[in-house]
Structure 1
Amino acid sequence: MLITNHVMSGAVVGALAPGPVSAFVLGVASHFTLDTVPHWGDEATFLQVAVVDGLVGLAAMGTIAATTPPDRRARVLAGMLGACAPDTDKPSEVFFGRSPFPEALDAWHKRIQRESPRRMPQEVVVATLGALLVRRLVRG
């Protein structure tokens, strides 16, 4: 699943959560839930797509945080951070040669994913629907 879609789901989770701690925990849970859904994945182009997606996801996170009303901002931001946290293994492996997580967690995380190089259109649809839902729930 593209990180931008995890950002969107984390914002939705944060908007619905009662507080920042629960938003973060539920954001992490949403990450693994979304990763079980069949989604795009292609080892040949992963790094190229990941860089662009990471920048788009970061821009989305900043935009969502900046436009969220102050009374909801902490929990929305916590939801987004929680939803993205499990994928910090990927840049960590690129830059530091290892994941920050235990091997068993990384192996399980890889095992639950059902990826296909033909599912990019699905990712775009999920991102679009996510953005619409974020606008409705987060910004009110």
Structure 2
Amino acid sequence: MRLEKLTPANYEAAFDLRVRPDQEDLVAPVVKSVAEAYLYPDNAWPRLIYDGDRLVGFLMAFLDIPWNPEADPDDRRSGLWRLNIAADAQGRGYGRFAVDAVCAEIRARGGSLVYVTWEPRAGGPEPFYLKLGFRPTGEQADGETVAVKDLSAPS
């Protein structure tokens, strides 16, 4: 498995990437994420996930964004913004690989906390993120559960 930047040669395949139909309300399509990455180039870290030559997913991290500047201007966070694993590639470790890659990137940039949000509903990704060591903070963002993983804690 490896990560690749989006390029003129691979972006169309990335835009065709689809999660399972029952997950479409949980994550934005790749095209929307790429547009947001363009709008926030200093904070977005989009990458494609490949297994050999096969595109199996997309991830986007957010890096050092002001979380709630009105409440605390010094609260800047980094974490996983989007994770889209192709419907036929799920359950094979690509999601774990993606989360580990985001954690490694944040650690390399000097971060020790990684955030993620999820829609709290049956069939949602909560069990996946809890299994990877994320813990709810008690906060909500746009109705989603906010969770954090401490990279300095033993795994």
TM-score for the superposition, normalised by structure 2: 0.26
TM-score for the superposition, normalised by structure 1: 0.28
| Structure with greater proportional helix content | 1
Where relative contact order (Cα < 8 A, 6+ residues apart) is larger, the structure is 1
| Structure with greater proportional strand content | 2
